[in-house]
Structure 1
Amino acid sequence: MRNLLLGTAVLFFVGATNPVFAQNTEAPKFVGNTEGIKEYTLTNGMKVLLLPDPSQSNMVVNIVYNVGSKDEGYGEKGMAHLLEHMLFKSTKNLGDIKKQLSDKGGQANGTTWYDRTNYYEIFPSNEENLKWSLQMEADRMINATILQTDLDKEFSVVRNEFEIGENNPTRVMMQNVFSNGYVWHNYGNSTIGSKEDIERVKAPTLRKFYEKYYQPDNATLIVAGKFDEKNALKYISDYFSVIKKPSRELGGTYTVEPAQNGEKYFEIKRNNDQQIIAAGYHTSAYADKDYAALSALYEILTSDPSGYLYKSLVETQKVSGIWTFSPVLRDPGMVYFNFDVPKDKNLDETTKLVRTELDKISSIQFTQDDLKRAKAKLIKDIENQKNNTINFAINLTEIIGAGNYKLNFLYRDNVENLKLEDISKVAQKYFKNNNRTMGVFRPSPNEERVFPTEFRDNQIADLVKDYKGKALEKEPAPFEASIANVKKNLTEGKLSNGMKYGLINKELKGDKIQGNFRFRIGNEKDLQGKEAIGNITASLLSSGTKTRTKEQIKDELDQMKSSVYAYVYEQNLIIGVNTYKQYYPKVMAIVQDMLTNATFPENELAKTITEVNTQLEGQLKDPQAIAGNELQRLASSYPKTSIFYVSSLQEQIDENKKVTRAQVVDFYQNIIGASNGVGTLIGNIDPKLASSELEKTFGKFTAKSKFVEVKPTFFETKKQDKNIITPDKENAVALGTSSFKMSQDHPDYPALVMANEILGSGGFLSARLPMRLREKEGISYGVGSYLDVPVSNDVASWNYYAFLNPTKRNAVEAAIKEEVNKALASGFTQEELDSNKKSYANERKTSLGSDGTLVNLVNTQLLFGVSLDKFDEQNTKIQNLKLSEVNAALKKYLSENNIISVFAGDFNKK
């Protein structure tokens, strides 16, 4: 069954190594004798096992290579198995291998599995057969011809083998359980491979694979049965020791299958009469002590007539048969349960019954009789296998593939020493429904499967060779990325209600128009306790108006390739518009309709609250969301009545549930308006048309609630470290903040900006924090720092962040604190300052190439009176900074004693 099942992994190609012969032979070095298995090694890395048994009349030569489908890469599925076939063709020295095997009348085969490939020959015991077998295997190791002419014939044979398996529902079912159960590890792929890869692989590609893996340092040679040990060692010396150890390093594979996140279920529909239910559970590697306990558990569950599953499902005639399969594997494997279902049984009802019985496994109270019965069966099988030397030598192939032949004896010892608690432990550990993959084979006589249409390179070349495309669009005019050029192309104005606007004349590709509008709304009294209401109101602006349904709004915008978005935060209503020159008036008319005629249907309100809360509920156990929320709460002490109060995630959910349509309508009619707002459009648009449409859209959009700016309160932060445990989360986060008073017009601002650039923000991963934690130590994927210094008030902060594996929590904390303290104690260097001045200037220039940056600069000028010239002035001040000023600013505004840190993750992980 091996070659019809499954298997795979990732193949890392290194330069092909052409084997060369050493000059002198060497005798195999004796290592030891383990229960009659005599172990030897050669300098070239090959292992030799001799199992003499004079009671036999036959002998077997079995060579095992530690390569299987696990080692195949992209586009190479089935290569190990195909190569197994090819190595029966011919070698340079001996010629036709199959013919010589036939002439000698022995038994021979080759098999491929996930972790290994083997070749063996069984002959009557005599010197000629022994010598020829060892000579042939040595020649096949390095001198296989692998001709394209042979491959052209053989691939159809392998393809037919594949097709035979595809006609077997049991084989198809097992393969699909494995392929659905494994996400990353190549055990999820069939050993026999992909039919398409089998058909297309070329001889040179096969040869690379052969030359990498079919080498003495990757092989174990077994000679067993009746043979002359002295002569066997001599022939091994003559034929194998002269093969030089290759210079390449194999390295092995590294993929570890992650824990499954929940039960998986799939269906196969084929034209067949057989009904099958199957289930797979991720279990242990063969080397794991658990493998023995699991083997006993399978006996206890499925044996006829005492098995628990047998009694509950077969004896009751719910299913006609049950069996399990748990392959011997190097890496953590999977146990497969097969349930055959009679045609007269309802497959869906039977699947529910099977699932119910499987769910009971972890809670069964197993008995000493169960254990005794299972151990007796397993030990019988072990002894019977060991006492058949020829078969035992061949079966050692699996054990060698799993890591080492001695694992066979450790497994036996583990079986003999099994205790009842071992059975219960593995039942509870592995047999969880979130570790299960279930599938059904559902007969479907008229099933038409969908096969994708493939395009080869030559077909694509033919498809595009004469394609000319549509007429070239007009290229937008060049636009210099400079403040002087922005000012030159900027038109400012004011609407009748006092709203200020800016128009940046810049041709965008496709005559695109982008706009961002920021309206200052409300006062402390009118906004008190209305954060959730404001957020939901903005979300519902596009849910329907007196003249358009939600569907009509969406359809119109889609047809015009345009979009409109809105959201509220604190005292700001933000509206964004993305459209094209030809559609600008129509899109602005939709915006005007949304702002003046919104209807807020009850069903849309309910759906929006559910959607928002579902997103928040998804954050309740997310380390990043939890840490970010908790850090804000620790850094401020606003009362719940303040618009700056930071609600917990659960409080946000609860507040959203309380929002009513009447509250939304009241917020819409009384709070929002454009009188205290600004907006900027960028694109090639006529100023008169732009301003007239802005007037139509926003000119009469006024709020009844008077806008009075609410200034935030400064809260001094004090050193605090807080741990939050988030169970079963693979990633963790570290966040920190330190408050101080500063606005962007403060004379120390440029120096502090540069200090933060050097410490955690500047360059491409070249600042101190990312250089230490990511580049040097590799303990954080993303780490850095940033400043939050406002324009209109002086409540500022320095902040840091780091994403990490939970096991690196202490290392990350120590590294961040060390780097901050080092900067505070010793300051930065002139080289760091000079380098970051250059990168800062380049980053500022790059940012001016962003349309969003230009819009934000103009909006800031309109709203706060911050001149566009400040952008260049800031860079000039930074370029003129002295090192002493930068170091002084850092010490003045940052102190370890003022940093609050929050760590969120599963820190119980080891």
Structure 2
Amino acid sequence: MKKTLYSLVFAFILGTAPSAFAQKSTTNTAQFVTQVEGIKEYKLNNGLQVLFIPDASQSNVVVNITYHVGSKHEGYGEKGMAHLLEHMLFKSTKNLGDIKKMLSDKGGNANGTTWYDRTNYYEIFPYSDENLRWSIEMEADRMLNATILQEDLDKEFSVVRNEFEIGENNPMSVLMERVINAGYVWHNYGNSTIGSREDIERVKAPQLRKFYEKYYQPDNAVLVVAGKFDEKKALEYVNQYFGSIAKPSRVLEEIQTKEPAQDGEKFVEVKRAGDSQAVGIMYHTAPFADKNYAALSVLDEILTSNPSGYLYKSLVDTHKVSSIWSFSPQLRDAGFMFIGAEVSKDKDIKKTREDVRAELNKIASNNYTEADVKRAQASISKQLENLKNNTIGQAVNLTEIIGSGDYRLNFIYRDNVEKVTLADVKRVAEKYFRENNRTVGIFIPTKDEIRVLPNEVSSKEIKNLVTNYKGREVEKEAKAFEASIANLKANYAEGKLNNGLKFGIIDKEIKGEKVTIALNLPVSNEKDLANKQMIGDLTAQLMNAGTKSMTNEQIKDRLDELKSSVYFSFSGQILHVSISTYKKSLDETMKIVNQMITEPIFPETELQKTINENVTYLEGNMNDPQSLAFAEAQRISSNYPKSSLFYTPTYQEMIDAVKKVKRTDLVDFHKNIFGANNGVATVIGINDKAKVKSSLDETFGKWNSKSKYEKAYPVIQNSAKQDKIINIADKENAAAVGIINFKMNRNHPDYPALVIANEMIGSGGFLSARIPMRLREKEGISYGAGSYLNISNDHKNESATWGYYAFLNPTKRKDVEDAVKDEIQKAIKDGFTAEELKTNISSWKTGRATNLGSDGTLIGLSNGYLLNGTSFDDFTTLEQKVERLSLKEVNDVVKKYIDLEKIISVYTGTFKK
């Protein structure tokens, strides 16, 4: 079951602040309510619910506030208001001023999202009392004192419209929105969260202020603090800043709209430009608080999981569709299940639709088994366990659970999943999966219909459901780990296997005794890899498709039972292997990995499915403005023969290459190219060096490549100015990408200055660098814009690039081009200011400190050291060099490396109508 993010959940920064609201000040103290499995609940007299999730093993702290308001709460003329208000909340407040600038100056990660039932805002910083205090103060201030200025709103319209247009480019996103819209008659779940373009452009600041004043109040919010923090001080800050806010006098009435039973199958046909085809189906289902939701989740997994799913086998295995996935949002009211299937363009889409409908008609009567149920429960349990043991992710994910009614519903859902029986699965299959409860068809009058009425769960029922829920025993806490290079060095050990594989061990506990292993396995040489990039890619994709001892289905089932995941990917010369497991499951998981790498059988049926899936994906990107712009800029800025592993093919060339791959190609590539003898591995979560060495040796110690390894290096490419416009039919959004090549690696003396220059031009801060500030904040002509820098940490690789990007309305192409190049020219001619330099160095350092708190960064540092000899101290040394930079050094480096006469620019979109 592929859980995709519904494209209308916009997890981007959606700028501009809410309305000011004067209230009587009254201080009250947070009172402890209960503790459920490591989550401590407090409540203020003004109604604010506060949740603490301490985790000493983290180095970061997250503050996440969720308001019970989303697109569901919008009335006529207000479609998109909740989403627009989320944008406005990043502008300013009466007391603190410019929120976005302060977030930019502080660094870290921050965001806001809007969905059907809720809106949330969060900040992730390295833990300090000041970061915690400021985050809580800021969220309290913008709850009460946000300013909504018409001049800011006027600019934000274009940004929101640009975001709307990005979604309109994706065929599946458009289809999904239309199907869900047609599936609902009265309930607002049928409306897109991003809203109506017409409503967005007509709303005025006073109207938005009323919406803000009504919903942005303490009795309608839940504040979550998680990660590493001092609980006593956190309570003091909550009392200080939120405790002074009075409980509002207004009463929020529950929305009473109830979607009637659907009385016939509905059909939607969308005709839009694009290269890939799709089928989408929606069934009305249950609220998250309904016990049926758990049974539906199990059934969902049974139906769409790769490779065991009933629909997967009947539709993907038979090549009727390229892929199938499902999506069941966690909602407060009766929700839905959406099933999507990608279809290659050589198929008859109407015949495929009928093939899909025929298989859907079998769901209610399929002969499901106990084994099906257990397999699905294991898969869902693994997902829930992994999320629970990622405290920062858990804190942000609680947004969805809170929006659905109460944070404890997540534990109750887990308990319910474990209790699901075969009878439950058959019952919900018969109840919900009826023709007259789905949207894909036309109205057909029939007699004696058994109509499906959605279950309703009242707030009182939810309260009764969660009030005495105690949860399970709190697990052992992981020990604290300071996010610093000094601590990393103090807790690091390394070793080497007899076959040459080097490994590093980071002595850091992960919540739940989780273990993460990441391997980078360089292989072969440029000659042996000529014309084989696509073969290598597919070989890696199919390493888990079956072995001599286990089928694809058996591998997935067993890994789910072990709560383990194994992924392979190949690019350039490196095979990447990612293993996620737990201490108690490590041995058996590694035995399965050994089978995958030493005895894969590459089944012909799995190869054909993978080819179909890749072709469909590539067809979808052929005329996607963003994908095409980046790929084309990369392609025309380099000059390699098509056989080279550094060549960037066109999408059509990739499609042609995929279609030519044979099973014998994969067998030969695996036999002669892949191996671990030149590789590196990093392990986090287990500190027994003998155990780690033994496990790695038994798994990878005898897996050696027959092809001699010689690292290939790209040739430095000279840039020559070029502006290329690619017209694509009927696309609502366009893209602009620029690139320039030069000679540099990270040991170069100019590297620190160029890093900070790039921060100030387009990549740093909270959308406050020059390019995004100009395009988004000042002129409102781009939803996303910035710059990027690619420089190798290998001292032998001196091929480097700098570039910019912007996503825009096609009618604004010339405006975007002029604005971007004007900002670049200003940076070259006039340079930056001392204040810019100071601010960006500070936020850049904070961002690095935040990143250092993630296991992914620690793994990257370790594997970089093992693979290229990059010292951990280089991380600190770079910061020291950056701190010593003079303004002249930074201004000079821009003039030296960035030249408008050498930039290659690519513009993709519908520029001719």
Give the % identical residues. 48
Q: Tell me, in whole angstroms, the C-alpha distance in 2 between the residues paired with 1:578 and 1:600.
A: 23
Matched, 1:885 2:889: yes
Q: 2:513 aligns with which of 511, 514, 518?
A: 511
Matched, 1:441 2:444: yes
**Counterparts of residues 83-162 of structure 1 (less than 5 Å):** none
Q: Tell me, in whole angstroms, the C-alpha distance in 2 between the residues paired with 1:844 and 1:502.
A: 22
Q: 2:879 aligns with which of 875, 878, 887?
A: 875
**Counterparts of residues 527-538 of structure 1 (less than 5 Å):** 527-538=529-540
Q: Tell me, in whole angstroms, the C-alpha distance in 2 between the residues paired with 1:182 and 1:641.
A: 44
Q: Tell me, in whole angstroms, the C-alpha distance in 1 between the residues paired with 2:541 and 2:851.
A: 30
Q: Tell me, in whole angstroms, the C-alpha distance in 2 between the residues paired with 1:755 and 1:565.
A: 36
Residue by residue, what CA displacement relative to the aligned partner does 1:436-494 show, whole Å, maximum 9, x if unpaired?
Answer: 9973232131x222222212211111111111000001111110000010111111000
Residue by residue, what CA displacement relative to the aligned partner does 1:776-827 show, whole Å, maximum 9, x if unpaired?
Answer: 1111111110110012200001011111111111111110000000000000
Aligned positions, number: 518
| Contact 1:70/1:186, CA 8 A, preserved across alignment | no
Could you say what secondary structure the match of 1:624 adopts? helix
Q: Tell me, in whole angstroms, the C-alpha distance in 2 between the residues paired with 1:15 and 1:444.
A: 56
The structural deviation recorded for 1:854 is 0.1
In structure 2, the residue matched to 1:601 is 603
Q: 2:841 aligns with which of 813, 816, 837?
A: 837
The structural deviation recorded for 1:850 is 0.6
Q: 2:527 aligns with which of 525, 528, 531?
A: 525
**Counterparts of residues 535-574 of structure 1 (less than 5 Å):** 535-574=537-576
**Who wins on radius of gyration, i.e. which is larger?**
1
Residue by residue, what CA displacement relative to the aligned partner does 1:40-82 show, whole Å, maximum 9, x if unpaired?
Answer: xxxxxxxxxxxxxxxxxxxxxxxxxxxx99458899xxxxxxx
Q: 1:822 aligns with which of 809, 823, 826?
A: 826
Per mean C-alpha deviation after superposition, the further-off stretch among 826-835 and 587-596 is 587-596
Q: 1:658 aligns with which of 657, 660, 665?
A: 660
The structural deviation recorded for 1:582 is 0.8
In structure 2, the residue matched to 1:253 is none
Relative contact order higher in (CA < 8 Å, ≥ 6 apart):
2
In structure 1, the residue matched to 2:862 is 858
Change (3 A) 1:816 1:181: closer
Q: Tell me, in whole angstroms, the C-alpha distance in 1 between the residues paired with 2:767 and 2:890.
A: 20
| Contact 1:738/1:898, CA 8 A, preserved across alignment | yes
Could you say what secondary structure the match of 1:783 adopts? strand
| Contact 1:268/1:439, CA 8 A, preserved across alignment | no
Q: Tell me, in whole angstroms, the C-alpha distance in 2 between the residues paired with 1:512 and 1:567.
A: 22
The structural deviation recorded for 1:15 is 12
Residue by residue, what CA displacement relative to the aligned partner does 1:339-374 show, whole Å, maximum 9, x if unpaired?
Answer: xxxxxxxxx9xxx9xxxxxxxxxxxxxxxxxxxxxx
Q: 2:740 aligns with which of 735, 738, 741?
A: 738
**Counterparts of residues 577-726 of structure 1 (less than 5 Å):** 577-726=579-728
Change (3 A) 1:441 1:631: same
**Counterparts of residues 199-238 of structure 1 (less than 5 Å):** none
Q: Tell me, in whole angstroms, the C-alpha distance in 2 between the residues paired with 1:857 and 1:71.
A: 52
In structure 2, the residue matched to 1:465 is 467
The structural deviation recorded for 1:185 is 12
Change (3 A) 1:72 1:841: closer
**Counterparts of residues 3-402 of structure 1 (less than 5 Å):** 70-71=76-77, 269=263
The structural deviation recorded for 1:880 is 0.7
Q: 2:731 aligns with which of 726, 729, 732?
A: 729
Q: Tell me, in whole angstroms, the C-alpha distance in 2 between the residues paired with 1:519 and 1:181.
A: 45
RMSD: 3.5
Change (3 A) 1:612 1:676: same
| Contact 2:266/2:440, CA 8 A, preserved across alignment | no
In structure 2, the residue matched to 1:478 is 480
The structural deviation recorded for 1:278 is 11
Residue by residue, what CA displacement relative to the aligned partner does 1:260-300 show, whole Å, maximum 9, x if unpaired?
Answer: xxxxxxx9647xxxxx9999999xxxxxxxxxxxxxxxxxx
The structural deviation recorded for 1:855 is 0.3
Q: Tell me, in whole angstroms, the C-alpha distance in 2 between the residues paired with 1:628 and 1:281.
A: 28
| Contact 2:179/2:268, CA 8 A, preserved across alignment | no
In structure 2, the residue matched to 1:796 is 800
Q: Tell me, in whole angstroms, the C-alpha distance in 2 between the residues paired with 1:278 and 1:706.
A: 58
Residue by residue, what CA displacement relative to the aligned partner does 1:127-146 show, whole Å, maximum 9, x if unpaired?
Answer: xxxxxxxxxxxxxxxxxxxx
| Contact 1:268/1:441, CA 8 A, preserved across alignment | no
TM-score normalised according to structure 1 size: 0.54
Q: Tell me, in whole angstroms, the C-alpha distance in 2 between the residues paired with 1:539 and 1:280.
A: 34
Matched, 1:846 2:850: yes
The structural deviation recorded for 1:181 is 7.4
Change (3 A) 1:187 1:557: closer
Q: Tell me, in whole angstroms, the C-alpha distance in 1 between the residues paired with 2:636 and 2:581.
A: 42
Q: 2:814 aligns with which of 802, 810, 813?
A: 810
In structure 2, the residue matched to 1:78 is none
Change (3 A) 1:638 1:452: same
Return the letter of the residue paired with 1:826: D
Q: Tell me, in whole angstroms, the C-alpha distance in 2 between the residues paired with 1:724 and 1:781.
A: 20
Change (3 A) 1:756 1:180: closer
The structural deviation recorded for 1:524 is 1.4
Could you say what secondary structure the match of 2:836 adopts? helix
Q: Tell me, in whole angstroms, the C-alpha distance in 1 between the residues paired with 2:696 and 2:270.
A: 63
Q: 1:894 aligns with which of 892, 898, 901?
A: 898
Change (3 A) 1:706 1:503: same
Change (3 A) 1:501 1:278: closer
Return the letter of the residue paired with 2:443: V
In structure 2, the residue matched to 1:762 is 764
Change (3 A) 1:803 1:281: closer
Change (3 A) 1:188 1:448: closer
Could you say what secondary structure the match of 1:526 adopts? coil
Q: Tell me, in whole angstroms, the C-alpha distance in 2 between the residues paired with 1:829 and 1:746.
A: 24
Q: Tell me, in whole angstroms, the C-alpha distance in 2 between the residues paired with 1:903 and 1:589.
A: 49
Q: 2:774 aligns with which of 751, 759, 772?
A: 772
| Contact 1:277/1:439, CA 8 A, preserved across alignment | yes
Change (3 A) 1:190 1:644: closer
| Contact 1:521/1:572, CA 8 A, preserved across alignment | yes
Residue by residue, what CA displacement relative to the aligned partner does 1:106-161 show, whole Å, maximum 9, x if unpaired?
Answer: xxxxxxxxxxxxxxxxxxxxxxxxxxxxxxxxxxxxxxxxxxxxxxxxxxxxxxxx
Q: Tell me, in whole angstroms, the C-alpha distance in 2 between the residues paired with 1:789 and 1:872.
A: 18
The structural deviation recorded for 1:14 is 11
| Contact 1:779/1:812, CA 8 A, preserved across alignment | yes
Question: Structure 1, unaligned stretches of length 5 or more?
Answer: 1-12, 17-67, 76-178, 195-207, 213-266, 271-275, 283-347, 353-435
Question: Structure 2, unaligned stretches of length 5 or more?
Answer: 1-17, 22-73, 82-175, 192-205, 211-260, 272-349, 355-438
TM-score normalised according to structure 2 size: 0.54
Change (3 A) 1:442 1:268: farther
| Contact 1:269/1:444, CA 8 A, preserved across alignment | no
Could you say what secondary structure the match of 1:439 adopts? coil
In structure 1, the residue matched to 2:395 is none
In structure 2, the residue matched to 1:331 is none
Change (3 A) 1:657 1:756: same
Q: Tell me, in whole angstroms, the C-alpha distance in 2 between the residues paired with 1:537 and 1:697.
A: 19
